[in-house]
Every structure is written in C-alpha cells, then in structure tokens.
Amino acid sequence: MVKYIVIAALLLSSLAVPAFGKTHKDVFDIPCTTLWPAIKDVLRNSGKYGIIGIDSQEMTASYNIGGTLGGKRTNSLVLNSQGDKCEMQVQTAYSGVIHDDYGDLKKRVDEALTKQKASGTPPAAAPAQSTAPAKSEEPAKQ
C-alpha cells in the first residue's frame, strides 16, 4: 500500500513541475517598433486576453488569459531592442500539459506579423493607441 502511495506522489509531483512560472525569450529579426503593433493587435483583438496594462513607451504589457475551467492566469511581456532585432520576453504563470500560454501567444504574434506584412502597413502608419495626441500631431501655435 505504501508503495502505491509513493508512486502516486511521484506521478503527481512530476505533473506539478511544469506548473511553475517561467520566463520565455525569443529574438525576432525585426525592430521592436515593427513587433510592438503586432503584439498590441493580438492582445486587443484576438479575444483571448484580458488586458491589465499596456505601456507603449516601455513596450510592456500585463494580461490575463484563461477562464473557468483552466483558471485565470496573469502573464506579462516586455520587448528589448537588440540593434535591428527585438527580444520578446514573456513571463508566464503556467506552461504545462494543458496550457501553453507562451506558445499560443507566439503563434498569434507570428500570424499578426504575417498579416501586417501582407497588408503592407508600415509600423509608423499603425493607428496610435494612446489617449494623448503625439506632439507631432498638435497644430503649431503662433
């Protein structure tokens, strides 16, 4: 009987290991100014994420994913410029057998980049999402 309890405990603990949060890093061969609009599009328009906060200046975001059955999980991301490349760091609350929060986000970002490239929309032409107008948009006062 003790033997079965030990085996069951080992099996359960081996499934629990992936439940700990992890930081994922991926480098894209594009500037962060190109990657950021795709990330915002995914977080805002995919219907999969609840946005906690987005900072376009720092290129950071915190968001919820999940629901009733899988539980709500809070993840965050930051973009780090590496010359003409961009590193996306995503801190996930869970990655394991049932959920692949990072893999799902990366797949959606890749799809958004493909859509962005196909539409020919340059990153600078993406609609501004800030609440305050940019200084260049304000009329000159004389």
Of 89 and 17, more confident: 89
Question: DSSP alpha helices (H): ranges in 17-128?
Answer: 32-45, 101-119
Of 106 and 7, more confident: 106
Torsion of CA 52, 57, 60, 64, to 10 degrees: 20
* Model confidence pLDDT, tens digit, residues 37-56: 999 999 999 999 999 999 99
Query: What secondary structure letter does DSSP report for 67?
Result: -
Domains of the chain: 19-116 (3.30.530.20)
The pTM score is 0.69
